[in-house]
A and B are shown apart, each in its own frame.
Chain A
Amino acid sequence: MVAGSQPKLLDVGALEVVYAGVVQALRGVTMSVGAGQVVAVLGSNGAGKSTLLRAVSGTLGMHGGKVTAGALRFDGAELAGRGAADIVRLGLVHVPEGRRIFGRLTVEENLRAGGMSVRGRAARSRARDRVYELFPRLAERRDARAVLLSGGEQQMLAIGRGLMSAPRMLLLDEPSLGLAPQVIGKIAAAIKEINAQGVSVVLVEQNAAMALAISEAAYVLELGRTSLSGPSAELAASDEVARRYLAVAGEPAPGADGLPADDHAPGEPADEAPREPASPARTLSRWQPPPARRGLPRPRAGVGAAAGSGGAHAGEPQ
């Protein structure tokens, strides 16, 4: 298990999720996030990262998914059975994959939408000022329609909008997706700043280098299971993670040193401390041996058609 004895804010225990009654997307995921932590969740496409966040934020139902087993608690409160809008009011906000900004609304209106659960005009305008302070670029473009923003600006807006309700925890689903390295660096710096202001962060990423650089602990999902977990620095230096998630363009990483994260996120803030070279592969808690089969799951005919989301619908053979 990661992290020491501080009280856990988010607790996910042996979670199982099924889509459309047949596609088992999570097969027992356990994760806990302490107050004030940044925890990364890594894994390749289709591993179940977004499913995990949807289960926490109460939006599985909108995708035809259902929690079939396991526990979900936030700050002691049971999340199962609560609607998405109620979970926001507990102080837990999910910023979905692909930014999902309201393109026809202005930047300012997007932020207003994000603060809709907040009582009191003063509290809302304070939250908005904080977002504009964090992302001055958004303040410059406050009256622009959000669809006209660049990809990086849209990601800032998506994060800023999530901050409008002053959450205690932010779930970020692949904020680096489709962004240029310099922009990824800015987003990473913003995440660190948000965390420094006291917000816990669950950071789902395929960009393992960036995520490991700014998180304390990390979990690796594989085919719906937690395959590895541990302190981020150890994972970053591990053979296994380096080979699978940090390797350059198909070329396997040479040794146990792993690759310096900066190779992959050159835009990262310069003040990033250089990681200690180590060989902690042994110290990683291994949940189970990695599955022999790798690569993309085979598509399952007939299931995708029933699902509402436009995402990938490849099922996994049982």
Chain B
Amino acid sequence: MTTFVSLLVNGISQGAVYALIALGFVIIFKASEVLNFAHGSMLLLGAYVIARLVPSVGFAAAVAIGVASTALLAVLLERLLFSRVGRNKGLGGHGQVAALTIMTLGLDIVIVTDMARRIGSGVLSLDQPWGSGAFSFGDVAITYNRLIAIATAAVLILAFLAAFRFSGWGVALRASAEDAETAALMGIRRWQVSALAWLLAGALAAVAAVFLTGSPTPGLEPSIRTVAFAAFPAAILGGLDSTTGALVGGLIVGVVEAMAAGYSSHLDFLGGGFGAAVPYIVMLVILLARPAGLFGTRELARV
């Protein structure tokens, strides 16, 4: 039983971090109709900037600069992807959206290759001030890193949802996502809405990077991009165009992953390394039952 509670709490923490990433993925999709497969490499870049700067400027300043530069990179990616599309002419037809999505895959490979070369084979530390200590309550243990992750993710997610619901940008984003042409007729400049969505998504990814590279993970390795990849099935199973879906999807994937890892000895008959496939299996099962995801309104096939 205590194993279960421990796995649950750790799973929720990891899931909260996935939710931060998935949320960015979802708002980019809503704003630009693009599946941003470069999301994991944006996160990697954020972590790298922080790790490089920590020794000279300290943790807080490094995080601030890392978050800002990842946000900026995201906006640059957006501008690069859409530079051929007129600013106010909408974002083009579906063929174009598919081409843009494939471009993000290309960008992902470019950025990851470069990062892998820079990071090398070692592990870079982000030197989180909360260190690698753990909090235990009876037999249930969770690292401070993961506790702080839950709290930070909760605050950021609430702030984000409030902006999404109440700010002018949120109204403009939801209107554009529902009917781009009519939104343009209202004077909404979609490229501004879209640029701000990428900016926020980049910032959230960099924050997620701080926690993904913290204890119990030893530090920054290029492979954290693969860990971040779990946010994609999270976003998709929750419903690609739903912010609620991103939250719930993130938590589901985090918890299921933790359970699969914790009880892996019982799952040995499925073969080793099964845990990494779990998020995708959960996604497939949910999509079979609900093609638009748990909270989505659009089927992936129609994207």
Contacts and interface: CB of A to CB of B under 8 A. Distances in A.
B243 to A, nearest CB: 12
Interface of B: 86-90, 93, 168, 171-172, 174-175, 178-190
Interface residues of A, number: 33
Nearest to B174: A105
A46 interface: no
Contacts of A243: none
Of the listed residues B172, B184, B186, B189, the one surrounded by the most CB atoms of chain A closer than 10 A to its CB is B186
What are the 9 tightest A-B residue pairs by CB atom distance, in nearest-first order?
A: A83-B88, A117-B187, A88-B187, A84-B184, A113-B175, A100-B182, A85-B189, A85-B88, A61-B89
B185 A57 contact: yes
Contact of B175 (A93, A96, A105): A105
B187 A102 contact: no
Could you tell me the dominant secondary structure of chain B's interface residues? helix
B86 A114 contact: no
Contacts of A109: 171, 174-175
A161 interface: yes
A162 B189 CA distance: 16
Contacts, number: 87
A96 B181 contact: yes
27 contacts: A57-B185, A59-B181, A59-B184, A61-B86, A62-B180, A62-B184, A83-B87, A83-B89, A84-B88, A84-B181, A84-B184, A84-B185, A85-B88, A85-B184, A85-B189, A88-B185, A89-B187, A95-B185, A102-B174, A102-B178, A105-B178, A113-B171, A116-B171, A116-B187, A161-B186, A162-B185, A162-B186
Contacts of B181: 59, 62, 84, 96, 100
A104 interface: yes
Nearest to A113: B175
A230 interface: no
A105 B88 CA distance: 22
Nearest to A167: B187
Contacts of B182: 96, 100, 102
Interface string A134-169: 000000000000000000000000000110110000
